Structure 1
Amino acid sequence: MSNLRTSRTRLVAAAAGTVLAALALTACGDGTGTQDEGAATKSPSASASTDTGASTPEGAPRTDSTAAAPTAASGARQAASKTSSASRTPKTGSSTGKSTGSSAATTPVTCEGSNTKTVAAPLTRPVNHLLLTVTNTGSRTCFLYGYPAVRFDEAQSVPPVIEDSQPQAVVTLEPGQSGYASVNLSATDGSAAHGHTAKSLTVWFQGRSLSGSVGRSATPALPAKGVYVDDSLKVTYWQQDMDDAVSW
């Protein structure tokens, strides 16, 4: 009997050990116990791997959007700076040459025979007067200085100017504009000496210094019968308006 009980006791103990082993295996496979500890140990590592800043080796180039944005902005600023600098750079070459040429082409010159046309026309009122009309035929403004130095036929001297006829400003002729002067040909009462009929006329132009003639002279035609002149011959200063010229 004692042997039988001993055998049963061993059999029960063996069965209990088998059950405990089975329970231990079941506990390992249900996601708790030791498995939970392993998962908890791995959790910080997995979290760290999602932090790109922490996982990027020191000194390695950054490729995330945060690093790329300043680089792109910097490139845009550099491009804008180059464009701005280029727009501020003064242009030279053709534009400068054009400006210089344009300035030279618009600089006023002195009116003289090569850039004007002179017409001589006898007047009925006042009598014994000749009107000189000078028209700017050039492309630049010209200044008509002083008064006309006229010579009829082969006279050895030019007639004097009427000083009171001097205008307040130099006569300025734009292209196509005209200036005027009148010539008192002879005394109306016939009192002056050395009267004769002149067939030709030469007109010289004065420069800014009024010390002599400049440029080409003009030779306006006179009426076919000529004009009568005597020692009372004199001229007016150049005038901007015709009425001012014929009033002397």
Structure 2
Amino acid sequence: MRTHHKSSVLAAAAIAALSLGLTACGGTDTGAKDAGSASASQQSSGNASAGSTDKGTAAAGEADQTAAKSGSGSTGGSTATGGTSGGTGTKGSTTGASTGGKSSAEAPACAYGDIKVTAAKADEVPTEHIVLTATNTSGSACTLLQYPLIAFGPIQTAKDVPAVAKSKPAAPIVVKPGAPAYANVRIALGGTHEDNKVVKTFNVNLFAPEGPAEGSIVVQAPAGGLAVDEAAAKTGYWTYELRNGADEF
């Protein structure tokens, strides 16, 4: 009876041990399967994330390229417009310069009411020359054309004094308000001559573009009057200043 009970106990213990071993093996297999499933899931998620990232990067690259193209086109258009505007401005400036204020050569001819003429003896004995000074007394610039038309005597009968060609300036003389111009005039050849006449006043006329201007300027002779030989008298052209050589005759 004791022997049978011992054998039964041993058999029960062996069965219990076998059952525990089987349970342990079964649990290990399930864990491995679960771990494998989790790993596969993580790998799948990683691949999906990587794919999303790659697609996002590609999309961003395409967006950048599109923006770059749009930006380049916009910049190019602005540059072209700017260049065109610059050219127009330059052209406008050139036009403005060419149509700017009147040049001095366009000043109207001086009339007898615009000019005051005075006479002074040259520094010589006997007096052979005088210098005429024409001062602009008007409020604007005017042009002294040609030379003074001088009449030593009654204006209706006196002989006009001829001009000396070598004294002609290269361009008409434009005098601003208050500014002077000059003309050298020979009145005699020196010494006493029976044809000389003493004049206290004489007349000076100006030129207009079409010829002698209307009106006459009465000029006072220097103190003591002038001994004039009309046959020898000559006049220079109006100039800004008397020039050695050109105005000596």
**CA distance in structure 2 between the aligned counterparts of 1:113 and 1:243, rounded to whole angstroms:** 28
Unaligned runs of 5+ in 2: none
Name whichever structure is richer in helix by fraction.
Answer: 2
Shift of residue 107, structure 1, vs aligned partner: 2.5
Distance 1:242 1:197 in 2: 28
1:225 and 1:168 map into 2 onto residues whose CA distance is 28
Q: CA RMSD in A?
A: 4.5
Asked if the contact 1:201/1:220 (under 8 Å) is kept, the reply is yes
Instruction: Give the aligned partner of residue 26 of structure 1.
Output: 31
Change in CA separation of 1:114 and 1:238 when aligned onto 2, cut-off 3 Å: same
Cα 1:54–1:160 shift into 2, 3 Å: closer
Contact 1:180–1:245 under 8 Å retained in 2? no
Q: Residues 207 and 223 (structure 1 numbering): CA distance in 2 closer, same or farther, change over 3 Å?
A: same
Q: Map 1:1-248; keep pairs closer than 5 Å.
A: 14-29=19-34, 31=35, 33-53=36-56, 56=59, 67-90=66-89, 100-102=99-101, 104-107=102-105, 109=107, 110=109, 113=112, 116-123=115-122, 125=124, 127=126, 129-135=128-134, 137=136, 140=141, 142=143, 144-145=145-146, 147-161=147-161, 165-167=164-166, 169-170=168-169, 173=173, 175=175, 176=179, 178-184=181-187, 188-192=191-195, 196-207=197-208, 212-214=211-213, 217-223=216-222, 226-229=225-228, 232=231, 234-238=233-237, 240=239, 241=242, 247-248=248-249
Q: How many angstroms does 1:120 deviate by?
A: 1.4
Instruction: State the Cα deviation string for residues 138-177 of structure 1 (Å, max 9, x = none).
Output: 76584541x42222442424435456x3216426546445
Q: Which runs of 5+ in 1 are unaligned?
A: none
1:192-219, Cα deviation, whole Å (9 max, x unpaired): 2xx654343221123567xx31376432
CA positional deviation for 1:115? 5.0
Alpha-carbon distance in 2 for matches of 1:232, 1:69: 93
User: % of aligned pairs identical?
Assistant: 17
- Matched residues, number: 233
Deviation at 1:123, TM superposition (A): 4.5
Alpha carbons of structure 1 residues 50 and 127: separation in structure 2 relative to 1, 3 Å: same
- Are residues 222 and 65 of structure 1, via their aligned partners in 2, closer, same or farther at CA, if it must alter by over 3 Å? same
